[in-house]
Amino acid sequence: MCAISGSTTLDKAFRLYTEGLERGHYGSGLFALTKEVGYIYKQEKPFTIDDIHRWVDDKNEIVYWAFHSRAPTNVIHSEWSYEKTHPFRYKGYIVAHNGIIDNFKSFVESDKFEIDSSIIPYHLFENDGNIKTVYEQYTGLLTSWIYDLNKHKFYIVKGGSSLFKDETSFSSLNFKNSTQVNDDGIIFELTENYVLEQRDIFNYSNPYFIL
């Protein structure tokens, strides 16, 4: 499976990202959040810290870093492309997902999206950014992070696939001083003080016995 991670400092976020590479690596994505905007960076090879330093050289001060490393759950490894690499964007919504949307093909618009996760920002746009409404229509493993450009808000959704967190950081894998989020159907929001706080819940049923 894929891995997601994030933190307020590049050093910690990058460490959590590199630990997640043990799950496999078919591409990497990075989202860097400033006080006003967010930036996306993707590449096929694993990021190095030098890669990131070169990329952020002309960016404004970054307050939060969110990573994704891709190890597809439901497809055979294929040639890398920017479009198939998380995070995915549609209009004002950016999403990186760890898991599988089992009922992806049931949506009439699914033929427009090659990767199941790439339909999430589209559905967020169609539902005015209502995370609860969007995620309650999915079945599968749904843990992901979301950026809402219109509200300038960053969220984490816990649904089936693993999530560990401390006050300001998160990862798909256990990390020092973190706590495992055992409950599902939880939406966390990054506050103005860059603390991850629970904001909402949604109806979720895990279809798998083993994660």
Q: What is the pLDDT of residues 128-175, one digit of tens each?
A: 999 999 999 999 999 999 999 999 999 999 999 999 999 999 999 999
pLDDT at position 57: 81
Mean pLDDT value across residues 57-70: 90
pLDDT at position 210: 44
> Alpha-carbon distance 45 to 42, whole Å?
9
Residue 180 has pLDDT above 60, yes or no: yes
Write the CA distances from 151 to 37, 73, 99, 147, integer angstroms.
Answer: 11, 31, 26, 9
Residue 77 has pLDDT above 70, yes or no: no
Domain range 3-201, its CATH number among 3.30.565.10, 2.30.30.360, 3.60.20.10, 3.40.50.10160: 3.60.20.10
66 confidence band (pLDDT: 50, 70, 90): very high
Q: Nearest to residue 153, comparing CAs of 200, 114, 117, 119?
A: 200
pLDDT at position 71: 74
> Alpha-carbon distance 11 to 64, whole Å?
11
Q: Is the dihedral of CA 127, 128, 129, 131 positive or negative?
A: negative
Domain ranges of the chain: 3-201
pLDDT at position 22: 86
Q: By mean pLDDT, which of 26-35, 50-59, 77-86, 180-189 is the weakest?
A: 77-86
60 confidence band (pLDDT: 50, 70, 90): confident
Top pLDDT among 173 and 57 is at 173
